[in-house]
Amino acid sequence: MKIGIIGLGLIGGCLGIDFRAAGHTVYGLARKEASCQQAIARGIVDAASTHIESLCPCEVIFVCTPIATIVSMVKQLAAALSPTTIITDVGSVKAAIATEATQHWPQFVGGHPMSGKSEAGLEAAEAGLFQGNPYVITPIESADVHTDLAAVEVIEQLAKQLGSRLYRCAPHAHDRAVAWISHLPVMVSANLIEVALREPDPQTRALAQHLASSGFRDTSRVGGGNPELGLMMAQYNQAEIVRSLKRYQQAIADTIGYLEAEDWAKLSEKLTQTKAGRSLFVEARPDPSAT
Amino acid sequence: MKIGIIGLGLIGGCLGIDFRAAGHTVYGLARKEASCQQAIARGIVDAASTHIESLCPCEVIFVCTPIATIVSMVKQLAAALSPTTIITDVGSVKAAIATEATQHWPQFVGGHPMSGKSEAGLEAAEAGLFQGNPYVITPIESADVHTDLAAVEVIEQLAKQLGSRLYRCAPHAHDRAVAWISHLPVMVSANLIEVALREPDPQTRALAQHLASSGFRDTSRVGGGNPELGLMMAQYNQAEIVRSLKRYQQAIADTIGYLEAEDWAKLSEKLTQTKAGRSLFVEARPDPSAT
């Protein structure tokens, strides 16, 4: 299959490596000629260009640019491609993208391969990044829009070739689920750092900084990540993040209530449930072939 | 030096191993004869007994029992020891323990070696657990109570032999600092798990569980820990945890406000500050010899 990849960063680069290894022909598109040359030199793509028309031969195109640019990229593609081409994206929010992109291109299929690493950019691209990790495909099935199921299956077949665990759900269900497990944790974690930084007594603040160890390190990790990514999540998944934050706010208020009332039975029940409940999130790893 | 260790669990066991390696004679005290035999067999102690009088020869005694039993243990020791013996503890809260223990034993010095591992018990004891980790000593310097500085220096010398980074502060300063970096993270993290577990739609809940990866895993780790430990922190450091939770609650409310008002500048500023601020906690590792 001829596959186009727009945006030769970490995700685009990793897709190129794995798709070429699976026998596909990969066409890269980047803004800078230097990225094209680098991608060709590293064997990440078969060909690369800065001109959108170079993707005309492709049967499937993966848009791997930042969330804010995906829809405008689909618009540009719409003027250049033959109507059978399938366009998909890899953005970490789906409702805001899939609905609008589908208006511009009926053969659009929203997707989210949930893989990453701490390093960014083409330099960090490697084989097998998606192996064993979730890949969510989000067809639209509303009253007036219906994503073409044949197109969905093409993307799912490609995701299987990456070794991903496949999930199919509505864009809103994806956004609600990732609010819980990805976006809310960023807000929860960032605010932990913020309040600790704002301890008014300088000696206690310095002591806390010196005493912090693995517990603080882990709980604060995602809140100390890339601010642009956090902001983009908030902008594009605002309603779901607010919903999850409000439920979280209530749970924090309940905790304060238990502590002030010395209701140790309630606090103990909460901590016992969270210990048991965590395993549902960190151990739930079904067989990918079952989906 | 003759050193007594009460409570042959992970911390007590690790102290025994390192103190023997440093040339001290270590006397263990446990509730069960089997623990005594095991500690002797593994070379963790020179001698071990279930009788408190066996510790009479000791110059320093480390109470390594759970927080709830430390003060009553000091009381029992007070009836058995010669008045020059120094008693210290390893509890993770200090104000609630140090004040009362000092009333029963003037030569009491509160301490908190901040080391641990995921496995508990004597079986998990190993050499070098305290190496490079903080050890906080919390003498009291109030109007009517003054911890003997010579006793403080004895404990500090022993902590140095463990390779720990030494800190000396008032019990309340310790409790406030660990509320930020150890106790608040548990509450923050536990509530994240709780609200995600309570997503009302079963399909979205299941999807969230399947999609959770390293971000959720890290942020939820300490909230999915031992409920008894979390409860004990809350009971013995209640005022400081409530104080930190209320500041945290306000920060969460601010975040919701930014999102609802689409005040992306404010949210961006917050996330930029937390990214920069986190490094103060996770990279602040001063030279132990400087303290």
Task: Give the per-residue pLDDT at B290.
Answer: 39
Q: Which residues of A touch B217 (CB under 8 A)?
A: 281-282
Task: Give the per-residue pLDDT at A283.
Answer: 78
Tell me whether residue A6 is exposed, middle or buried, using C-beta atoms within 10 angstroms of its C-beta: 0 to 12, 13 to 18, 19 or more. buried
Among B190, B225, B256, beta carbon nearest to A245: B256
Answer yes or no: are the C-beta atoms of A139 and A154 closer than 8 Å. Answer: no
Task: Give the per-residue pLDDT at B254.
Answer: 98
In single-letter form, the type of residue at position A9 comes to G
**Number of cross-chain residue pairs from A and B with Cβ atoms under 8 Å apart:** 319
**Hey, are the CB atoms on A190 and B238 less than 8 Å from each other?**
no
Task: Give the per-residue pLDDT at A118.
Answer: 78
Among B245, B248, B275, beta carbon nearest to A227: B275
Q: Which residue of chain B comes nearest to A213, CA vs CA?
A: B282
**Hey, are the CB atoms on A281 and B220 less than 8 Å from each other?**
yes
Read off the tokens for B225: 């820990």
On the question of pLDDT at A142 being above 70, the answer is yes
Among B187, B220, B224, beta carbon nearest to A255: B187
DSSP code at position B221: T
Total residue count of chain A as it appears in this document: 291
Per-residue pLDDT of chain B (291 residues; tens, 9 = 90+): 999 999 999 999 999 999 999 999 999 999 999 999 999 999 999 999 999 999 999 999 999 999 999 999 999 999 999 999 999 999 999 999 999 999 999 999 999 999 888 788 999 999 999 999 999 999 999 988 999 999 999 999 999 999 999 999 999 999 999 999 999 999 999 999 999 999 999 999 999 999 999 999 999 999 999 999 999 999 999 999 999 999 999 999 999 999 999 999 999 999 999 999 999 999 755 544 433
Task: Give the per-residue pLDDT at B283.
Answer: 78
Shortest alpha-carbon distance between residue A93 and chain B (Å)? 13
Could you give the CA distance from residue B278 to residue B185 in angstroms, rounded to a whole number?
A: 14
Answer yes or no: are the C-beta atoms of A44 and A19 closer than 8 Å. Answer: no
The 10s digit of each residue's pLDDT in A14-54 is: 999 999 999 999 999 999 999 999 999 999 999 999 999 99
Among A193, A242, A273, beta carbon nearest to B277: A193
Report the interhelical angle of B264-282 vs A202-211 (nearest 10°): 70
Task: Give the per-residue pLDDT at A143.
Answer: 86
Q: Which residues of B touch A96 (CB under 8 A)?
A: none
Q: Which residue of chain B comes nearest to A117, CA vs CA?
A: B214
The 10s digit of each residue's pLDDT in A98-136 is: 999 999 999 999 999 998 887 889 999 999 999 999 999
DSSP code at position B44: S
**Hey, are the CB atoms on A198 and B174 less than 8 Å from each other?**
no
Q: Which residues of B touch A208 (CB under 8 A)?
A: 176-178, 180-181, 281
The 10s digit of each residue's pLDDT in A143-161 is: 889 999 999 999 999 999 9
